[in-house]
Amino acid sequence: MSREVPERLLAALRDARHVCVLTGAGVSAESGVPTFREAQEGLWSKYRAEDLATPEAFLADPALIWRWYRWRRGVVGNVEPNPGHRAIARLAGVVPRLTLVTQNVDGLHRRAGSRDVIELHGNLFEDRCFADGTLHAGDDGLDVPTCPDCGGHLRPGVVWFGEAVPEPALDASCAAAADCDVFLSVGTSSLVYPAAGLAKQNGAVVAEINPNPTSQAAGFDFALAGNSGIVLPELVDWLAL
Ligand code: APR
């Protein structure tokens, strides 16, 4: 019997047809990804992240916003996926169907081997045309990179303050929460996307993995108080036995 993972949760996972995993900043904490707000260091410490991550700031000074995002790409590009990310990628090979939804823009799930990740807030390493919305990989090194399709300014492919989550990502994540049999809420304060509540209403077994149980945890079936980098590998090891 596992020390961290209750047998009833393992049984629900073994029987599950569809597992949905929602991750937040906590899953990347053990990789050393600074949270959005604590990331402001050195030259950037005089700016508030909330004042830079907006469409208005980009329109006012796109070169400044690009300098900030290139610095953030450098910071995140220097960290590695941790055992929590890798366990989720492994879980996809153990259950019949897995939908992974993340609020993180760091791309660490993809780097850990997860496929078809629903990135609710976009991806730090993608570029999107400010004018036509098309996605492009990598930037062309100009102060403000340009769209190869229309010549307009490219912007980082993330969701900024004041912007809505793209509808396809939101629809897909709600559909998965409504359809799944087990929902794992990992490393998120669950305040931004109350998807766990939707899963619970639809009869899923809901478990939270967080060293600091959230205020919503009382309404879930399980609250595993631990770091995702420890609890998730243990859970997948037991399932794979
Ligand atoms: N393992 C699991 N959970 C952890 C760990 C860990 N090692 N370390 C911290 N946590 C938990 C914290 O206890 C907290 O509940 O991760 C959660 C992180 O919560 P938030 O910082 O609120 O992150 P998140 O839920 O992803 O929401 C932040 O708000 O600013 C926006 O776009 C931004 O997506 C981001 C969202």
Q: Delineate the domains of the chain, giving CATH numbers in brackets.
A: 1-32+81-121+165-241 (3.40.50.1220), 34-78+124-158 (3.30.1600.10)
- Is the CB of 24 within 6 Å of ligand 1? yes
Residue recorded with tokens 């243990």: 234
Q: In this structure, what token pair is assigned to residue 241?
A: 């036995």
Q: Which atom of ligand 1 lies nearest, measured to the CA of 23? A: 26
pLDDT (tens digit per residue) in 100-115:
999 999 999 999 999 9
Please, which pLDDT band fits residue 47 given cuts at 50, 70 and 90?
Answer: confident
**Token representation of residue 236:** 């997948």
C-beta of 26 in contact with ligand 1 (< 6 A): yes
| Strand ranges across the sheet with 122-129 | 135-137, 122-129, 154-158
Residue type at 219?
Answer: G
Helices and strands, number each (H, E), in the chain: 10, 9
- pTM of the predicted structure, to 2 decimals: 0.94
The partner residues of 223 in beta bridges, in order of sequence, read 208
pLDDT in tens, 55-76: 999 999 999 999 999 999 998 9
| Catalytic residue set | 121
Q: Mean pLDDT across the chain, nearest whole number?
A: 92
